[in-house]
Amino acid sequence: MSQNLYLTRYAWKTPLFPNYQPKQDLDIILVIPAFKESQLLSALDSINDCIEPNGSVLILVVVNEAEQGEKEETEINKKCIEQLAGYQSRYELLLAYQKLPTKKAGVGLARKIGMDEAVRFFDKVHKDGIIACYDADCLCEPNYLKEIQYHFSDHHARAGIVFYEHRLDGEYKKEIIQYETYLRYYIDALRYSGYPYAHQTLGSCIIVRSSTYQAQGGMNTRKAGEDFYFLNKVIPVGGFVEINSTTVYPSDRLSDRVPFGTGKAIGQLVEDDRTYSVYNPKSFEDLKVFFSQTTTFWNNERFELPGSIEQFLDDKVKSEIDGIRKQTTSFPSFQKRFFHWFDAFKILKYIHFARDHWYENVHLKEAMHWLGNEHKGIVSDDEETQLKNLRFHDRKGLTINQTDPSPL
């Protein structure tokens, strides 16, 4: 039997469960990294309340900490493990405790270790199964597992993202409303600009086939933002689905466990007691002008760029576009390669450049009024109502994304 190249070269070298033999009908593996976690039992209860899909489901929890971590972290983790020892799970549950290299310790590495182990399990039963990322402080709707399985019953589906709504019943309700509104504003503004791969990138909502995960080199080991960088590689491959028919409910709590993200943003809002400021809509308007000229670029016609784009790309833009055109034989392939070059990461770098040199951030309220000109009925003087309007639009305004392997 030939060896699995990914497992041989790129996976975490030490298997968590080398002697474990998965069930032959294993279909979904949920990978849950847990660090200093107090809400894991609630997360597991939510999964165990899910309607059973066809085939077996495995929950893989990776309790982790740095090799040279704080004593408090170890104590919290040990308490979490003790609680799990007597937990009665409806679905098969495996628990691993990992000490991570201090320089790399974080959610990215913990998630990678769990996902790599999922690849090993599916490899043992010769199946291209579904790996679902989940977080230890999340809840989900009862149809979560069924809807994942349903959408991946289409063999074209390679990866996806589950719809999310932060819980609004906690201490930081005001702050989480602003933060989630910002997240949705950013993606909807990208969609307005014409960027074809604009999707939310929450780690707790990522779904991916084992083969796709391997083909894209697995999860990266960043301490935060691992979800953004992973999906930036995966989404353009094609076969990406938005699963809007079920919901993951991330926590709204304040947290210092990662250098940025929800918990960090909530902490800053609480500390500053200010109105959330966001990227200026003018940046997205300039992107729209830029992206609308791909036909012009392909035809090698004269073009003019907005000043912010031209300064950001400096003198490289013409040579880059000429290079892409020479490497492609049709407009669809040119367009696809163009957006591989000017991808989500480059867009974010541009947005930051424009913020620093061209367009100052604006208050969230101003940005939402701009977005409301594009999507009627979203804006409301009541921030919670406005967020709910935005959620409704994001869930209903877009159908499940195409699973055509070549969306461009």
- The percentage of residues in the chain with a pLDDT greater than 90, rounded to a whole number, is 75
- Say if residue 405's pLDDT is above 90: no
Three state DSSP letters for the chain: CCCCHHHHHCCCCCCCCCCCCCCCCEEEEEEEEECCCCCHHHHHHHHHCCCCCCCEEEEEEEEEEECCCCHHHHHHHHHHHHHHHCCCCCCEEEEEEEEECCCCCCHHHHHHHHHHHHHHHHHHCCCCCEEEECCCCCEECCCHHHHHHHHCCCCCCCEEEEEECCCCCCCCHHHHHHHHHHHHHHHHHHHHHCCCCCCCCCHHHEEEEHHHHHHCCCCCCCCCCHHHHHHHHHHHHCCEEEEEEEEEECCCCCCCCCCCCHHHHHHHHHHHCCCCEECCHHHHHHHHHHHCCHHHHHCCCCCCCCHHHHHHHCCCHHHHHHHHHHCCCCHHHHHHHHHHHCCHHHHHHHHHHHHHHCCCCEEHHHHHHHHHHHCCCCCCCCHHHHHHHHHHHHHHCCCCCCCCCCCC
Residue type, 389: N
166 or 70, which is more confident: 166
pLDDT of residue 253: 59
Banded model confidence at residue 259, pLDDT cuts 50, 70, 90? very low
What confidence tens digit (pLDDT) does each residue in 281-315 have? 999 999 999 999 999 999 999 999 999 999 999 87
pLDDT average, residue stretch 392-405 = 56
Banded model confidence at residue 258, pLDDT cuts 50, 70, 90? very low
- Say if residue 353's pLDDT is above 70: yes
The HSE-up count of residue 390 (CA atoms within 13 Å, CB side) is 28
pLDDT of residue 267: 53
What confidence tens digit (pLDDT) does each residue in 193-240 have? 999 999 999 999 999 999 999 999 999 988 888 999 999 999 999 999
Banded model confidence at residue 172, pLDDT cuts 50, 70, 90? confident
What confidence tens digit (pLDDT) does each residue in 317-327 have? 888 999 999 99
What confidence tens digit (pLDDT) does each residue in 84-117 have? 888 999 999 999 999 999 888 999 999 999 999 9
pLDDT of residue 400: 30
What confidence tens digit (pLDDT) does each residue in 104-157 have? 899 999 999 999 999 999 999 999 999 999 999 999 999 999 999 999 998 899
Q: How far is CA 229 from the centre of its chain?
A: 8
- Say if residue 257's pLDDT is above 90: no
What does DSSP say about strands 26-34 and 130-133: parallel, antiparallel, or unpaired? parallel
Domains of the chain: 5-257 (3.90.550.10), 278-396 (no CATH)
Q: Enter the pTM of the model.
A: 0.90
Banded model confidence at residue 67, pLDDT cuts 50, 70, 90? confident
- The percentage of residues in the chain with a pLDDT greater than 70, rounded to a whole number, is 91
Burial of 131 from C-beta contacts in 10 A (0-12 / 13-18 / 19+): buried
Q: Residue 400's closest CA among 176, 181, 207?
A: 207
Banded model confidence at residue 11, pLDDT cuts 50, 70, 90? very high
Q: What is the mean pLDDT of the chain?
A: 89
Banded model confidence at residue 402, pLDDT cuts 50, 70, 90? very low
CB 105 within 8 A of CB 65: yes
